[in-house]
A and B are shown apart, each in its own frame.
Chain A
């Protein structure tokens, strides 16, 4: 790199290689202890926390699912009353979408993207810390409310007027709406960080066509987040305004519109599905390479499919409203656009199959999950094509057919790849391998249990069973299948339990992992397992899409970064040519204070509009503290 004459400070080329890692560790490592943990801005620590928290929410959501299945196993069961059941299914949906699926994908990206693009920390690391605390607070708000019998009971979609001021008694719907604000805030923060990291912090030489597909997927996802989340934040904020101060956004008598809510919600809600699915597709494209032992077929096609899906996802929200009474011609347009999304999905499926076709598959657990993903996701995609058809949808909308469809898409399409991802990147996260035997067992249990649980729901839906019912009468012919589903869910739960056991056991006593156990081609495997706090002693220079395959032992590196302060390389957007050395902020406790202040303001604002006025003062104080120059070397321009 060019070395400007005026710079000062200790550079990595000035010290011996052996001393380099020590110096970097001193600069980058998070101090141990309680305050160190609270103040850390290390993307790996935050990413691990994020992933862990998201899986805790997955387990909690699973408990809710189990309760629902016990309730529905027999007709007119009295285990749960309608009030609790409505809270439970709402919590299950809201929890799984807002506290598990979206955050876990972003969490994996927070951990992996900086490693995969070869940089030392994510962009805006303090914002990253803030985002985690806000996410945690939102999750705790929701679950605390549920524990106190004031959990939302209006569905994860919270349609007005049921969730509105007149019919949603108490603060239940407000808690749902404010939980949205928390999770969207954290998601938006991560999205901004990821976009900047991917655009400006890629290792020198990582041109646009050398970016790993997972990173591309996260880039597209981040843009989806940035464009979709404002719609739901507007929607949920105006819902709270309607409920708290009596505005009339959704009141037809005063010129509001009930369907406005549905438009706003689904304008966010449909891209939401792709916010969950695209990272998963990216994971598959990336993981398939070491297990097919060849580059993913059709890199350009895969990336273009991701982008096309992202764009199309904004044009099909109305298919959630096919029976709301919108004009038929408009509906047909949305049929066409909903069907069209099958094309990019198809391109990806065919590319993956072509990759396996031409490769020499290694049947390890991650590949099993990829295969399970393809098998189930194709079903979910095809049922998606079915419900995209207006006349078809009038019979299956709001029935268990749709429940089956979106579980196939979300579990088949996102959780399977995610579980594969955990198995695949576990050695990088922890330095230990996961047990292959337990992994296989959990895969087969989950795969069989999942299909046995959710496939019959298609039939139940066609047989007329609506969604969101807390029970059904014995004279309806649904109890046999419902009992079967509930029993199958036991297998599915066993599979997940085994997965958790595997994770815990392997984290403690798994086989120690080498740096690159899978012989994978991407940059995160170029560093140790787990990576040091500074990620890479020297920033790698990338010459191809698969740097670790093409330059296995001789990965070139860039030098010239300072070691006595946190520095990373900023590169150009398209060609990733080094542009500047930039400081990466020190640890700070202020993001936590800012998150606490924001939490107080947001929760208080459920109860009084004045919270926005008075509550913003501590937020402002926290932000001033956050940005106040602290005199660290990183503050030098």
Chain B
């Protein structure tokens, strides 16, 4: 009702069957193989069932022939042996498939992913402190490189899952986990929290944007910068409102006095494709709608409804949209 369709990468952009990540591709092969074998097994069993029912339709009492029970026993044992063989194969296959999944090393690009009710806090961890920066809900990665996600559950258990790139992994409080993703193709992949985490579990999405190394470097460089000064009068008024109203108590905009940490970092919110953890495409209008009444749009989330005059709302949304 509220969201406008986003320009995805064409086709399905959150699917375990429409895959662009190294591990998702190998998982898809495994899935298709196992599903195919299982379907064949089901059809065989059904064929046997139908034949069994068909055979006995005529109500003639079966003649007591010797060895019938024995033949049945042999058939059943044969079927059981086949079952054993199939599941043993599956077990070995899944063991091999697990081992074959690439695991990123210490030197790979590392992103600290924090799961919070109901958004994703991201911190790009570089070799030196100056290259670190924070963002939220939108991960950019270079294509063709292993990326290490260090997963931290902050409040409750969440689970990060970008099906087109990799399988999921839980973010458990008190128990750091890791996940390696690697995109084979450039594109925008949607992911979503997969572990029930409370009221707004349904609206806790994240985007992964895989781009060329150059684009990525350019993006990262831009993200490291503090927020630009407001370009015009309206946005300047927006910044003033942002700082004067409760907004700044929860959100950080680097380069300004806003340094709250209980909400997402908004330093470059205008450059992100979506707001409110994947709920809307970022536009001035959607920002205004979101700020005006967050509890109707995403009931139960932790952003309060801040009373703003129409002018203030216009200014704040213009300012946030300008934070490219």
Residue A356 interfacial (CB < 8 Å): yes
Residue-wise, chain B 1-31 has the 8 Å CB interface mask toward A (1 for contact) of: 1111110100010111100000010110011
Q: A474 near B: Cβ within 8 Å?
A: yes
How many residues from B make CB contacts under 8 Å with A?
96
Which A residues touch B161, using CB under 8 A?
398, 464, 466
Interface centre among A332, A353, A388, A468 (most CB of B within 10 A): A353
Let me know if A560 is at the binding interface, CB within 8 A: no
Bits for A340-369, please: 1 = Cβ < 8 Å to B, else 0: 101100110111011011111100000000
Q: A161-B155, A474-B5, A477-B12 are in contact. Are A391 and B49 (CB under 8 A)?
A: no
Q: B168 contacts which chain A residues (CB < 8 A)?
A: 323, 394-395, 397-398
* A511 in contact (CB, < 8 A): no
In the bound assembly, the distance between CA atoms of A473 and B17 in angstroms comes to 19
CB distance from B208 to the nearest CB of A (A): 13
Q: Do B202 and A382 touch across chains, with their CB atoms under 8 A apart? A: no
- Among A154, A342, A375, A475, the most chain B Cβ lie within 10 Å of the Cβ of A475
Pick the contact of A464: B14, B31, B278 (CB < 8 A). Answer: B14
- CB of B305 within 8 Å of the partner chain: no
| Given known contacts A325-B175, A394-B167, A399 and B87 CB-to-CB distance under 8 angstroms | no
Q: Which residues of A contact B38 (CB under 8 A)?
A: 382-383, 385-386
List the A side residues contacting B45 at CB < 8 Å. 349, 353, 374, 378
Q: Which residues of B contact A253 (CB under 8 A)?
A: 174
Alpha-carbon gap, A128 to B107, bound state (A): 64
Residues of A within 8 A of B75 (CB): 350, 354
Q: Which residue of A lies closest to B68 (CB)?
A: A358
Chain B, Cβ-Cβ closest to A389? B94
Q: Check A395/B49 contact, CB under 8 A, given A350-B76, A389-B90.
A: no
Given A358-B62, A392-B31 in contact, is the A379-B80 Cβ separation under 8 Å?
no
B67 touches A (CB below 8 Å): no
Question: Residue on B with the closest CB to A257?
Answer: B174
User: Which of A257, A297, A382, A474 has most chain B Cβ within 10 Å?
Assistant: A382
B138 CB–A CB distance under 8 Å: no
Residue on A with the closest CB to B205?
Answer: A473
Please determine whether B80 and A298 come into contact, CB atoms closer than 8 angstroms. no
Q: Say whether B198 faces chain A, with CB atoms less than 8 Å apart.
A: yes
Q: How far is the CA of A343 from the CA of B16 in the complex (A)?
A: 29
- Interface size in chain A (residues, C-beta < 8 A): 84
CA distance A392 to B31 in the complex (A): 6
Q: Which residue of A lies closest to B51 (CB)?
A: A357
**Which among B95-103, B225-233, B240-248, B258-266 touches the partner chain?**
B95-103
Given contacts A82-B199, A349-B45, contact A324 B172 (CB under 8 A): yes
Q: Can you identify 30 A-B contacts, CB atoms within 8 angstroms?
A: A76-B2, A86-B199, A154-B196, A155-B196, A159-B195, A161-B173, A252-B174, A292-B56, A323-B170, A324-B170, A325-B172, A331-B98, A332-B91, A351-B76, A353-B48, A359-B56, A371-B53, A389-B90, A389-B97, A391-B167, A392-B94, A395-B163, A397-B167, A464-B164, A468-B201, A473-B203, A473-B278, A474-B1, A474-B3, A475-B3
- A378-B41, A473-B279 provided; 8 other pairs, C-beta below 8 A? A76-B3, A83-B199, A347-B76, A356-B52, A361-B57, A371-B49, A398-B161, A464-B16
Give B residues with C-beta under 8 Å from A: 1-6, 8, 12, 14-17, 24, 26-27, 30-31, 34-35, 38, 41-42, 45-46, 48-49, 51-53, 55-62, 68-69, 72-73, 75-76, 79-80, 83-84, 87-88, 90-91, 93-95, 97-99, 101, 117, 151, 153, 155-157, 159, 161, 163-164, 166-170, 172-175, 177, 190, 192-203, 205, 278-279, 299-300
